[in-house]
Amino acid sequence: MISRFKNLSPAFKITSLYLILGLLWILFSDLLLSWMVDDLELMRIMQTLKGWFYVAITTLLFFLLIKRSFDRLDRARESLSEAARHYSYLFRNNPYPMWVYDCDGKRFVEVNEAAEKTFGYSEEEFRKLDLGDLHHPDDLEDLSAMLRCDAPEYNRSSGFRQRKKDGSLIDVELITHLLPGQNGQHYRLVLAMDITGRKQAFEALKASENALKESERQLSTLMSNLPGMAYRCKNDKQWTMLFVSKVCKELTGYPEEAIENNNLISFGEIIHPADRQRIWNEVQEKLFLKKPYPLLYRIITASGQVKWVWEQAVGIFDDEGELMFVEGFITNITEQHNAEKALKDYNELLRSILDNISFPVFYKDLQGRILGCNHDFCDFLGKPYDQIIGHTAWDLVPPAKAILIDKIDRQVLATMSDFRQEEQIVFADGRKKDTVYQKSLFYDTDGIPIGLIGVYFDISERVKAEKIIKKQVEDLERINAELEQFTYTVSHDLRSPLVTIKGSLNLLRDDIKNHDQQQIIDGMARIEAATGRMHHLLEDLLQLSRIGRIGNPFSWFSMNELAEDVKVFLHGILEESKAQLTIGELPGAFGDRFRIMEVLQNLVENAVKFRDPDRVPEIEIGCRQNDGEANYFVKDNGVGIDPRQLDQVFVMFKKLEPESGGTGLGLALVKRIVEFHGGRIWAESEGPGKGCVFCFTLKAGSAPEN
């Protein structure tokens, strides 16, 4: 009975309880009042109150029950709404294409964004599609079975092909779920996973397996036919072999099973005792650098025969950089080694010939190992013959030079042509020679290149002669230019005083006839002035012509002492012009002290001559360093020079101010003296009224070649 009551609906339960409680209240409340109250009026009042109390209690009870029911309803609706939101979010934002399919109507009801992006259809276009539009015709039968209304609630199957809007096909795996429907409708949630890449990967894996089998077959064939022994070994003193190819017996005389894992003998014991430590050291060095390495050494075969072998090997490392084992290839080169020995014997003959050549010569093999050289090449490197032969450039010269040598070698070998360039080489003892460096290939009897020959042809005398010729050409050009100026001067500057003298003599003749004493005196004064100007001009020309031909021996001297001597010598004109001459700290110089004094004297006189009349002349003799070169200068605060005319101040007879005194040869003399000392001179000025700086340099160390 109780279980049946529990199975009733909530409305029926509430109504039944209300009816029972009402009946019980009416029966027992009236009976109770009849026992307690005798007065009819009071009983009537009490029954009225009893009725209101019953109404109030039942009203409260109904309120609580209704509120509870509505609260449950609200929570159910909220849960349903939240579930709908979650479903919508998961459906819409799922990275795999999904759609809801009406099993009865055979149509697409809803699709997510991933489906739209994957297949290229909009949701509206999806609604108009049928299964044949989206799937390959061969898959429709199996697909229809998966999507039937009576199909299993959950189904998963692969091997379907779906067509995109652009017509391309993709392989997919479909997962379907039966969704609860209303009014007898059936829907299925379909998820499509693109397995095209997985299928391709599977096919690629299968192809890789086939390729691996083929590679193993080819490797086995290759190992069996190699002219040498392939191996894998541990990095220990015994060189414990983990694997050796079948050529092992031909090479060493031992079968492979005798050497593998040191079963009978270790490969370390087969190596010639004299080569074991060297081989160990070389291998450890290359393994540390993680570089492949070649080796050349001897082995002793099972029959006691000594063979020369060449080995190329490399260390095999794991992902953490730990050495696992060494793999390599060893081949017999005894015949080649004997041929090389014969070649070395031949090199001894070449050496005796090369030692009589007076410039550096060497020759080396294609691996860069020097096979022979002469005494001059030994002197060039500053190393004895035994420390050069058999070594490469990496052992003999700095890395930067070795890289350049290797580059030239590869260029000669690649182009099969000679390399030739001029360069100055410095011997180990400091001697320098100008050379033509030529590198060429030399060949064997079959015309195959087997090495390179390098020769440094001494062209020092030729270079020196070229420098002298170049200087003579420059001097000749300068002399020709000066000769043109000289011709102009003779025809103009010297002719001008002669015209003055000739004209004055004609006038003087007339004045003598007329006994005009004053005119005679004036005429003679004009003649004297003209002859004086001609004398100064001729003296300057003579002095200019002597520069470079007549001079004093070069020597080191103090420029500060020289500047002080100039200051004392020019004391008179400095006092007269009230000029202030200061001397800075000057480095010593090498040259003709008397001529350099002429330079400073001329520049200081020039500064006084072209002083600014509106301010006290300030002249400075100093020096500034420019890239390690001493730049002596004479600086003033005079009238300055237009920057456009700075290159004209050293031209012979060129006067920027025609009314100024002098012949215009002073700065030309200065320039000639500086250039005779191997230096250069130039002027600097910011413009008129800004003063001027005359700078010059002197070639230190020795006199210029004449």
Q: Which residues contact 657 (CB under 8 A, 6 or more apart)?
A: 610
Residue 690: burial class (beta carbons within 10 Å; 0-12, 13-18, 19+):
middle
Q: Let me know: does 531 contact 497? Beta carbons within 8 Å.
A: yes
How many CB atoms sit inside 10 A of residue 605's CB? 16
Among candidates 623, 572, 601, 592, which has minimal Cα distance to 667? Answer: 601
Residue 122's φ and ψ, nearest 5 degrees, are -80, 170
- 234 near 242, Cβ under 8 Å? yes
CB 425 within 8 A of CB 340: no
Question: In 3-state terms, what secondary structure has residue 637?
Answer: coil
Any bridge partners for residue 631, and if so which?
624
The pLDDT tens digits of the residues spanning 87-135 come to 666 777 778 888 788 887 788 888 888 888 888 888 888 888 888 888 8
Among the listed residues 286, 303, 289, the one whose alpha carbon sits nearest the alpha carbon of residue 249: 303
Contact criterion met (CB below 8 Å) for 366 and 360: no
The pLDDT tens digits for 498-525 are 666 767 777 777 778 787 788 778 777 7
Residue type, 228: G
Residue keyed to tokens 């199909």: 151
Q: How far apart are CA 30 and CA 420, in angstroms?
A: 139
d(CA 673, CA 595) in angstroms, rounded, equals 7
Please measure the distance between the N-terminal and C-terminal CA atoms of the chain and give it in whole angstroms: 143
CA pair distance 382, 368, nearest whole angstrom: 19
Q: Is the pTM of this model over 0.75?
A: no
Determine the 3-state secondary structure of 451 from DSSP.
Answer: strand
d(CA 564, CA 570) in angstroms, rounded, equals: 10
For residue 51, give every residue at least 6 positions away whose Cβ sits within 8 Å of its Cβ, in sequence order, or none: none
Residue recorded with tokens 């050496």: 351
**Parts of the chain with a pLDDT under 70:** 1-14, 17-18, 25, 27-28, 30-31, 33-34, 37-38, 40, 76, 79-89, 181-184, 197-205, 212, 214-226, 347, 350-351, 475, 478-500, 502, 529-530, 532-552, 651-665, 700-706
Would you state the structure tokens that stand for residue 202, as one six-digit string?
A: 């599977």
The pair of structure tokens assigned to 74 is: 């609200």
Six-digit token string for 303: 């029959």
Q: Which long-range contacts (CB under 8 A, 24 or more apart) does 198-202 make?
A: 199/171
Nearest partner of 435 among 380, 486, 496, judged by Cα: 380
349: amino acid identity, one letter: L
